[in-house]
Structure 1
Amino acid sequence: MKKRIILYSLLLISIGTSFTACKKKERIAEKVVKVNENGLPVLNPLQEVMPTLDPNYCNDKKLRIDAFFHKVWNKEDNVSFLVAQNGQVLYENYNGFANRSKKELITADTPLHIASVTKVLTSAAVLMLVDAGKIKLEQKVTEFLPDFPYPDVTVLTLLNHRSGMKNYAYFTYDDGNWDRKKELSNQDIISVMKDKNIPLESKTDTRFGYCNTNYAMLALIIEKVTKLKYPEALKEMIFKPLGMTHTFVYETSKHKGNVSLSYKGNMDLAVEYLDGVYGDKNIYSTPRDLLKFDVARYSPSYLNPELLKKVYHGYSNEKKGKRNYGLGIRMLEFEEGEPFYYHNGWWHGNTSCYIYLKKEKVTMFVISNKYTHKTYKTKQLAPLFGDYPFKTIEGKGE
């Protein structure tokens, strides 16, 4: 009898525990809204709290990052710089002019042009639509854009740069294919490719070829699927739900004359007819806003596990080497050491660098609006956090 009572009690405890766990899961699920009132997938802030870093650890990293910053950057440079781990800012620094003639300084709240780091956000929006069942990776681009002239190109080959297309910056410049006194749009790119019979550079899905045209087309697919212009779609799906209040897609009609300027190395201004194309570039943001985006992607509601694996899988395997490209992310895969995920950017005087140390949950954002290669030296900080065979800030290593 006593044994029966004990077994009955254990059963009640088990049922109660399971019920409590289920209710807890329900409460967590209630906090995660994957679709907004317009039926669009949205990227919500991470609900779970990441482990707090030890203060001594943080102080050590801060001192070493600060030493790197002042070794690389000087008071004449323009830069926004941030390093974080587990979503906690370890170090940030802001220097130089957003607008030199007006003496407007770069601060933590100054949006700068992030150039090709834009591709990381464009790919995120596309993948969210894939996860929501609104797009399939294997779908042909012609299913979305009927005038698109290359029948074998798929969404996947746009994301991983295996479409074989030529760069619009070159073929619109050549042979009078476009009146360079007129600003080019994303849709204009399709018109030129079709009307001027622009050939592919290589047969689709036969080799990797980094090409901005791929991401300009992805922006049009986002527009077709969401029924919103690309700037508004990214605002609804990513910027607004994450509170990225200093982030936007540049539109000439709205923003010309009201954004941070782009300077060449000699501080001359840089503008041209290609400045209206987006998806491959044209997002303005701050490191703090980009950190919100980075942390949100740790949420289990971001992408399903199988799709997420495809993001960090390399698709550029024509020849052996450490350089590779996933879906909207570059990677270096070493024989020894952790895979290094990153994306660099350059447009006019704007240079940018996003580094994502996946294993250590470390992220780095560096943006400059005055042309420099210093931005790309940031990878030297990776050995501070893990097994990455780069030359370190002390000058050791590869």
Structure 2
Amino acid sequence: MKKKFITLGLVIIFSGYIFSQNINILPKLDSLNIFLKENIQDTDPGAAILIKQDGKTVYENYRGMANRQKGEKLTPNTTMGIASMSKQFEGMAVLILVNQGKLRLDDYIDTYLKDLPIDDRKITIKQLLTHVSGMPEITQNENFMNSLDKPRSIDEILAIALNGPMRHEVGGKYMYCNTGYTIVVKLIEQITGQSYHDFLAENILNPLDMKNTYSCDINNNAIDIASRYRQDSTGFHDAVKVHFSNLIGGGGIISNVRDMSIWADALLSGKNLPTNYKEMWQTAILNNGEDTHYGLGMGISNI
């Protein structure tokens, strides 16, 4: 019998979740410890790793530094940007609204956002969340990428992103697109009358007791998180400074591995999630019938 394997992705360097009940991870933990000691020195940017099996934590380790300049070590309390894992929370937020009867995944986005400059092309909410919309990609805008330290509202981000041409016909290709997630955040805020930050807290994070997790926006930037670094042949250097409002939707959530393990448990059990939560795993099908293997904010494959 095939099992669904949900890839939650990267937290800083690596954090892993083992979901299959038939994998015995325990004999491999010594090798993992050796690997970490050989590859992450005490003064290197750190790695936070947590492995769960059958609902129990079987491995947890923190190596290296959260902030090299201040000499702060990575600990269980260290929070960090979770990058594109943020998309999973947006997918669930949309399913909550579907469950409440406030929208449908196959609704066209211009049904709600009538002033959005997207020509006359009909694009559904699901197509935006599954990277098949053909929308221009915000991270390909050089001016935007060179000014990530500037706080921006959703409308300011979209004014930049939607200034470019469509990349392909709607539903014609799978092309990773953060712009779609920014658009859907705007949709969520318009339908609910709440900020995305507050909607996530009220409907997902607080019910799951994820106390160290929050979404950033122009009024709520990341606070006291692990520093970001880049590496070249001369060593580690500070990465480009980022105001996390620029990453809203597609990458603007802050968390830590223990909170993310709570999220992993919720995805597997459905506890404190809407009854339709499994729709997260329904992948997009292209116009030619090809499966994209991508659901609402996460890659999906069979093992």
TM-score strictly above 0.5? yes
Structure 2: 5+ residue stretches without partners: 1-20
2:293 matches 1:327 = no
Of 189, 194, 218 in structure 2, the residue corresponding to residue 223 of structure 1 is 189
Mapped to 1, the partners of 2:258 and 2:175 lie a distance apart of 31
Mapped to 2, the partners of 1:300 and 1:285 lie a distance apart of 19
Of 259, 272, 284 in structure 1, the residue corresponding to residue 254 of structure 2 is 284
- Residue in structure 2 matched with residue 153 of structure 1 by the alignment: 123
- Residue in structure 2 matched with residue 247 of structure 1 by the alignment: 213
Mapped to 2, the partners of 1:233 and 1:246 lie a distance apart of 16
Mapped to 2, the partners of 1:79 and 1:314 lie a distance apart of 33
2:229 matches 1:263 = yes
- Residue in structure 1 matched with residue 198 of structure 2 by the alignment: 232
Alpha-carbon distance, 1:262 to partner = 1.4
What do residues 69-90 of structure 1 show as CA deviations (whole Å, max 9, x unaligned)?
4465443341111110222111
Change (3 A) 1:313 1:101: same
% of aligned pairs identical?
A: 26
- Residue in structure 2 matched with residue 302 of structure 1 by the alignment: 273
Question: For the Cα contact (< 8 Å) 1:149–1:193, is it kept in 2?
Answer: no
1:97-112 residue pairs with structure 2 within 5 A? Answer: 97-112=65-80
Which of the pair is proportionally richer in helix?
1
Change (3 A) 1:287 1:310: closer
Aligned alpha-carbon RMSD (Å): 3.2
What do residues 55-107 of structure 1 show as CA deviations (whole Å, max 9, x unaligned)?
xx675464454455446544334111111022211101112222222222211
Mapped to 1, the partners of 2:148 and 2:262 lie a distance apart of 38
Question: For the Cα contact (< 8 Å) 2:221–2:243, is it kept in 1?
Answer: no
Alpha-carbon distance, 1:327 to partner = 2.0
1:1-398 residue pairs with structure 2 within 5 A? Answer: 59-60=26-27, 62-63=29-30, 65-67=32-34, 69-70=36-37, 73-75=40-42, 76-150=44-118, 151-171=121-141, 173=143, 182-192=150-160, 196=163, 198-251=164-217, 253-255=219-221, 258-265=224-231, 266-272=236-242, 276-297=246-267, 298-299=269-270, 302-304=273-275, 308-309=278-279, 311-315=281-285, 324-333=293-302, 338=303
- Residue in structure 2 matched with residue 353 of structure 1 by the alignment: none
265-274 or 101-110, larger mean C-alpha shift: 265-274
More relative contact order, 1 or 2 (CA 8 Å, 6+ apart)? 2
- Residue in structure 2 matched with residue 23 of structure 1 by the alignment: none
Change (3 A) 1:240 1:98: same
| TM-score normalised by length of structure 1 | 0.60
Change (3 A) 1:84 1:262: same
Partner SS state of residue 284, structure 1:
strand
What do residues 210-266 of structure 1 show as CA deviations (whole Å, max 9, x unaligned)?
111111112112211221111111111111111111111234554466333211122
User: Matched residue pairs, number?
Assistant: 273
Alpha-carbon distance, 1:148 to partner = 1.3
Question: For the Cα contact (< 8 Å) 1:95–1:106, is it kept in 2?
Answer: yes
Letter in 1 for 2:273: Y
Mapped to 2, the partners of 1:163 and 1:68 lie a distance apart of 41
Partner SS state of residue 222, structure 1:
helix
Mapped to 1, the partners of 2:38 and 2:285 lie a distance apart of 36
What do residues 268-291 of structure 1 show as CA deviations (whole Å, max 9, x unaligned)?
232157753300001110111011
- Residue in structure 2 matched with residue 42 of structure 1 by the alignment: none
Letter in 2 for 1:262: R
- Residue in structure 2 matched with residue 372 of structure 1 by the alignment: none
Mapped to 2, the partners of 1:121 and 1:204 lie a distance apart of 24
Change (3 A) 1:106 1:316: farther
Partner SS state of residue 90, structure 2:
helix
| TM-score normalised by length of structure 2 | 0.77
Mapped to 2, the partners of 1:145 and 1:80 lie a distance apart of 40
Mapped to 1, the partners of 2:100 and 2:39 lie a distance apart of 43
Change (3 A) 1:259 1:148: same
Mapped to 2, the partners of 1:78 and 1:312 lie a distance apart of 34
Letter in 2 for 1:104: E
Partner SS state of residue 207, structure 2:
helix
Question: For the Cα contact (< 8 Å) 2:222–2:254, is it kept in 1?
Answer: no
Question: For the Cα contact (< 8 Å) 1:184–1:277, is it kept in 2?
Answer: no
150-159 or 311-320, larger mean C-alpha shift: 311-320
- Residue in structure 2 matched with residue 365 of structure 1 by the alignment: none
- Residue in structure 2 matched with residue 6 of structure 1 by the alignment: none
Question: For the Cα contact (< 8 Å) 1:242–1:292, is it kept in 2?
Answer: yes
